[in-house]
Amino acid sequence: MRKRINGLACALALFSSVPLQAATSVLIWPIDPVLEAGQKAGALWLENRGNEPANLQVRVFAWRQGEFDDQYQAQREIIGSPPVANIAPGQKQLIRLTRTGTSPVGQEQAYRIIIDEIPSALPPAASADKPQAAIRFQMRYSVPLFVYGEGLWGKADASGQRGAAGVGKPALSWRQVSVQGKPYVEIRNTGPVHARLTDVVLQQGGQSRPLVDGLLGYVLPGASMRWPAPQPMTAATVLKGRVNGQEPAQALNQGQ
């Protein structure tokens, strides 16, 4: 599956005679790469759909969750190669994701592949005595990567080499909490694998209100995450959503 991801990291305001510059457009696939148990390496493809060369830096960070926030750390367990790619318009580049060691048995490890655009140098100003404001956009793309140890699978295999019984499933529960006097939904995952939550809604009093449109976020194994709620909740409130893209939406257990 392919998906174009246009993620704005920051805008750099510069004084120059150069007009507003459009950012490159990069097509990334797959958008959900995994390294299954026994798989030494995987592939990530980058394609430049823009009109200018794309200079990209590729880094892989360990991904943890603590204090209800995402935390990224430097690591050497997964190597992305090449670490820098110069892609001409209309061309693509293979990024090889290589496991350098053995993953813990029966565990899922989470990483984030961060792809940063390296802006090209600005041409000399046409008129140094009449500078004009210009903005250059630096793009950042973030792709999740999940890596599995022996005995745990991330996805079922149609060829039959990996049975559905070995595919890990998250175990989710939720509760209402108050943060600075405002209602939040706190979701905990006690399962062995991550939960990707989409189309999450609160059902209460015959009404259904989304927490956010589309992707809510991830909850990694053993972690808890919080999101603002659109309204206070009661014991009768039901939280429903799609977990890891599965249909239909499921109701999450309400904890204490």
Read off the pLDDT of each residue in 130-150 and give the average, rounded to a whole number: 81
List of residues 6+ apart from 200 with CB closer than 8 A: 210, 211, 212, 216, 239, 240, 241, 242
Q: pLDDT at position 15, please?
A: 30
User: Could you give the CA distance from residue 233 to residue 222 in angstroms, rounded to a whole number?
Assistant: 25
**Overall average pLDDT of the 160-189 stretch:** 91
Q: Is the pLDDT of residue 92 over 60?
A: yes
| pLDDT at residue 19 in the model | 36
Q: What is the mean pLDDT of the chain?
A: 86
Q: Where in the chain is the domain with CATH 2.60.40.10?
A: 3-148
Q: How confident is the model at residue 215 (pLDDT cuts 50, 70, 90)?
A: very high
In angstroms, rounded to a whole number, what is the distance separating the alpha carbons of residues 85 and 95?
9
Residue 8 has pLDDT above 90, yes or no: no
pLDDT at position 161: 72
Residues 6+ apart with CB under 8 A from 138: 9, 10, 11, 12, 23, 116, 117, 119
Task: List, for residues 17-55, the tens digit of each pLDDT value.
Answer: 333 334 568 999 999 999 999 899 999 999 999 999 999
Torsion, Cα of 243, 245, 249, 251 (10° steps): -10
The class level of CATH for 169-254 reads: mainly beta
Tell me what percent of the residues of the chain surpass a pLDDT of 90.
71
> Where does the pLDDT of residue 135 fall: very low under 50, low under 70, confident under 90, or very high at 90 and above?
low
Which residue reads 């409130």 in tokens?
A: 237
Question: Which two structure tokens, joined as six digits, stand for 159?
Answer: 């060829």
Given this model, what pLDDT does residue 197 score? 98
What mean pLDDT do residues 229-242 have? 93
And the tokens for 186? 């706190």
Confidence of residue 231 (pLDDT cuts 50, 70, 90): confident
Pairing outcome for strands 172-179 and 78-81: unpaired
Please report which confidence band the pLDDT of residue 128 belongs to, taking 50, 70 and 90 as the band edges: low
Residue 74 has pLDDT above 80, yes or no: yes
Q: Calculate mean pLDDT across residues 154-181.
A: 86
Q: What is the H or E stretch that residue 188 is in?
A: strand 182-189
Whether the per-residue pLDDT at 186 is higher than 90: the answer is yes
Burial of 20 (0-12, 13-18, 19+ CB in 10 A): exposed
Q: Which CATH class is domain 3-148?
A: mainly beta
pLDDT value, residue 105: 95
pLDDT band at 1 (very low <50, low <70, confident <90, very high): very low
Task: Please report the pLDDT score of residue 17 as a whole number.
Answer: 32
Question: What does the pLDDT read at residue 206?
Answer: 86
Q: How far is CA 186 from the centre of its chain?
A: 19
Q: How confident is the model at residue 145 (pLDDT cuts 50, 70, 90)?
A: very high
In percent, how much of the chain has pLDDT > 70?
Answer: 83
> Given this model, what pLDDT does residue 25 score?
87
